[in-house]
Every structure is written in C-alpha cells, then in structure tokens.
C-alpha cells in the first residue's frame, strides 16, 4: 500500500484547510433514510448545506468532471462522495466512481460521508481502494429519539417506519463504525444538534464514538430546511453549540471549522467554488446519459408506469385493493407524477381486469405489492406487465425506466388468491 498523506484532508486536519482543497462528486442521488431535518433540492446554487447539488453525475461523468476541476484547481487533495443522497443507497455508482478515481489519481485521498446503514458490506473493497476517511452521521443511540428524527429507513429489502426500523438502523450504524476502525480507516462522527430532541445526548454519543476508536467528532448545528418535517425547529445558538462541543470534547477531538459542504462542493473549506464550477458540472452531466438507456418496453405508445400506493411514498397495495393508481413518467433524471386514475369498481370478475387494461393502455407496467394469477394473465395479454415489488415508489419506478432489476424488492408474499378475478380485491 502506498503511503498517502493523511494530513492533507482539510476536514480532519484544520491546519491543512487553508491550502488543501476537496471536491465532492455528486453521484449518489438516492437515500435509504428520511431525516426530518433534510429536504434534498437540486439546482440551488445559493444554498450551502448537505444534500444540495446543481446536478447528478454518472461515474464516467464524475471522472470527466474531476479532470476539469483538477486542471483548474490543482490544490485538490481529497475526492469525496457525500450524496446528495447516501453513497451506499447508491453502491454501484459510488464504488465505480471510487475505482475510476483511484485508477486515474493514485495519490488522491478518498473519503465518503454516510449514515452508515448500508456501509458495512462495502468496507473490504473501500479498504482495498485505500479509502482513508469515512464520516458517519450519528444523531442518537436511543430508539425513542430516532423515532423523532427519522420518518423511515430501508432495512435490507423493506422500507420500515419507526419504531420497527429504528433499532435496526441504530444497530447497523454502530456495526459500521466498528467495521470502519477494524479496517484501519479514519472515522469522523457527525452529530446534528437538534434542540429539544437530541441535545441532551451529545455526551452519550461522543463517549460511545470514543470507545469505538473514532478519530474526530463534529457537532453540526441544525439549520432549517424549508419543506422538511422539522423546518419549524429553532436552530441552536452559538453558545449551545460551543457547550455541546465542550461536552463532546472531553472524549474526542472536535472539528470546529466545518463548512457544511454541499454534495458538489469544490475548493477550500473557507472558499467554496461550487458556484464557479456549476456550468462545468452541468456540461459534464450532459456529455453522456446520466442513467442507462431505457429498456425496449418503453415506447411512445406506452410511456407511463402505474403504481399502487396508499400515500404515494411506498408501493404497498395489492392490485385488487387499490382504489386508484398513480401514473408516473420519467424526465431523464427522476420519476414524476402525471396524474391519479380511479380503478374500475369491484364485483365484475374478469371484466374488471379487462377494464383496467383499457384504462392503462398507455402504461408499460403496473407496480403492485401483490396480485392473483388471473388478473396478471389478463393484463399481460393486453401488453401490461404486472411488476411485484415493495419499496419506495421513486426507486422502483427509476429502476424500471432505466432497465435495472427490481427482483430484490419482490415482497415475501407476492401472490394473492383473492384477486384471482372474482372481483373481491386483495383484502
């Protein structure tokens, strides 16, 4: 293993922040948790906070962008991946980008910033690629507090809501932190200070992180993100932040110079150049398709996908029990809702599914959490694929439009005898 200069990471070493720059490559748009303080928005160059970027790049585009950045700003010493979602909710894109950077820039420091939920399986290759720095955001160790911070989390193949998912999420985070140190990687722990929610837990988290061997602790003062669940929560005062740093400082070295970097941050911490590179990033994003070509099933006659969802977030309804279907399209970067359509009434036997096939004649597929064999047969004969899956609507629709598999999202019980055509639904 070559000897990389670890001191050149401006986040882990305050002394290098004035001369060593970083660039974040925004290749990870999806996230596997929903934080109450987060509202990811693209094309917002005036905002400087995690989760914001002016565009999303594929791994080859990211390499092209990095070459442009290095040509104009040779003091870049660190390449990081920090979103705009979570790197390991997008593991294929993240790992391929890191491979390309290591191959083309063998002396570059590599780092990732993650919630830790899906980090552990990728640590052996991260170590092999000589990723030297990892940041994990840990806001609590308590299930009840996690329920106040997070709306949902994808654990394995299933999206869960607290309280079911919170203990599994916290366990995965803690396992990831142990694994990071077991692989000899420097670990920074971010703690978002949320007044009235987790501000009394700073010491508990800092002590735990220190016991695991963490190298740095970063108290991030909460800042309101319009449209987020916690947008009305007041930000902590400067005195409250300093007090929290003092408490945590009894256990770990504190990062006191954090710039709350965007997912497309460029340059020195004190002089971010993401605005200056916005046009470069946009040009690289257009240099080739960001996502794989759409599958052959997508055509002008059937441009849409129908989805069965109770609330619009998750695919969570069986075919026969859906009173309405969400009709989705794809704008080249993300799914978009076109309209909602009421389904034919129950009680008409096979006529119900024939009517549904006519209603969805402009759709290539219908995504449901379960369906009987008879309606699947009737809809398939009409050219409408019935896709059985459970998970986030956005993720599943994205995968279907871009030709990626969804078989890992098939529900445990995908068939349903009660929607076999008798019109009784999938109760």
pLDDT (tens place) for every residue of the chain, 427 residues total: 466 776 778 677 766 666 778 889 998 888 888 888 887 554 444 445 566 676 788 899 999 999 998 888 888 888 999 888 899 988 999 999 999 999 999 989 999 999 999 999 999 999 999 999 999 999 999 999 999 999 888 888 788 888 889 999 999 999 999 999 999 999 999 999 999 999 999 999 999 999 999 999 999 998 877 777 888 888 899 999 999 999 999 999 998 877 777 888 887 665 776 677 778 888 888 875 444 444 434 455 788 999 999 988 899 999 989 999 999 998 777 888 988 899 988 876 788 898 899 889 889 999 999 998 989 989 988 889 999 998 899 989 988 888 887 776 777 554 454 444 433 444 3
Q: Give CA separation, 35 vs 139, 282, 294, 370, 413, in Å.
A: 10, 28, 31, 29, 29
Q: What is the pLDDT, as a whole number, of residue 299? A: 52
- Both structure tokens of 190: 């971010």
Three-class SS of residue 357? Answer: helix
Structure-block tokens of residue 167: 């203990």
Whole-angstrom distance, CA of residue 8 vs CA of residue 138: 25
Contacts of residue 185, defined as CB under 8 A and 6 or more positions apart, other chains included, come to: 123, 126, 127, 131, 132, 133, 134
**Domain coordinates in residue numbering, the chain:** 6-285, 304-419
The predicted structure's pLDDT at residue 294? 40
**CATH architecture assigned to 6-285:** Alpha-Beta Barrel (3.20)
Six token digits for residue 272: 């971010």
Q: What is the pLDDT of residue 238?
A: 92
Q: How far apart are the first and last CA of the chain?
A: 59
CATH of 304-419, one of 3.30.750.24, 3.40.50.2000, 3.40.50.300, 3.30.420.130: 3.30.420.130
Q: Are 205 and 148 in contact (CB under 8 A)?
A: no
Domains 6-285 and 304-419 share a fold: no
């Amino acid at each position: 293993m070559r000897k990389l200069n670890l001191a050149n990471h401006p986040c882990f070493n305050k002394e290098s922040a004035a001369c060593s720059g970083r660039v974040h490559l925004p290749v990870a748009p999806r996230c596997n948790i929903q934080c109450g303080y987060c509202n990811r928005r693209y094309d917002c160059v005036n905002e400087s906070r995690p989760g914001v970027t002016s565009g999303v790049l594929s791994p080859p585009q990211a390499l092209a962008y990095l070459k442009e950045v290095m040509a104009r700003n040779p003091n870049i010493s660190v390449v990081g991946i920090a979103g705009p979602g979570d790197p390991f909710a997008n593991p294929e894109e993240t790992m391929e980008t890191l491979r390309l950077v290591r191959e083309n820039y063998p002396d570059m420091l590599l780092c990732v910033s993650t919630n830790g939920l899906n980090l552990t399986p990728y640590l052996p290759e991260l170590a092999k690629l000589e990723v030297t720095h990892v940041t994990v955001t840990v806001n609590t160790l308590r299930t009840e507090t996690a329920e106040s911070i997070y709306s949902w989390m994808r654990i394995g193949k299933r999206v869960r809501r607290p309280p079911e998912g919170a203990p599994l999420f916290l366990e995965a985070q803690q396992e990831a932190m142990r694994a990071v140190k077991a692989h000899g990687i420097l670990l920074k722990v971010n703690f978002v200070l949320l007044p009235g929610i987790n501000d009394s837990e700073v010491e508990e988290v800092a002590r735990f992180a220190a016991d695991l061997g963490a190298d740095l602790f970063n108290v991030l003062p909460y800042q309101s993100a319009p449209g987020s669940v916690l947008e009305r929560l007041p930000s902590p005062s400067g005195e409250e932040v300093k007090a929290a740093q003092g408490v945590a400082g009894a256990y770990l070295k504190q990062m006191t110079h954090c710039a709350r970097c965007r997912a497309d941050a460029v340059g020195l911490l004190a002089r971010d150049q993401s605005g200056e590179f916005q046009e470069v990033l946009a040009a690289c994003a257009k240099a080739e398709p960001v996502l794989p070509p759409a599958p052959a099933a997508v055509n002008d006659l059937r441009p849409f996908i129908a989805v069965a969802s109770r609330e619009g977030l998750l695919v969570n309804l069986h075919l026969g029990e859906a009173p309405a279907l969400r009709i989705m399209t794809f704008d080249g970067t993300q799914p978009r809702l076109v309209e909602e359509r009421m389904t034919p009434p129950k009680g008409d036997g096979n006529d119900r599914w024939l009517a549904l096939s006519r209603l969805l004649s402009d759709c290539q597929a219908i995504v449901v959490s379960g369906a009987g064999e008879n309606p699947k047969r009737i809809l398939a004969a009409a050219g409408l694929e019935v896709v059985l899956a459970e998970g986030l609507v956005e993720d599943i629709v994205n995968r279907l439009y871009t030709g990626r598999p969804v078989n890992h999202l098939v529900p445990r019980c995908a068939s349903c005898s009660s929607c076999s055509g008798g019109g009784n639904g999938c109760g």
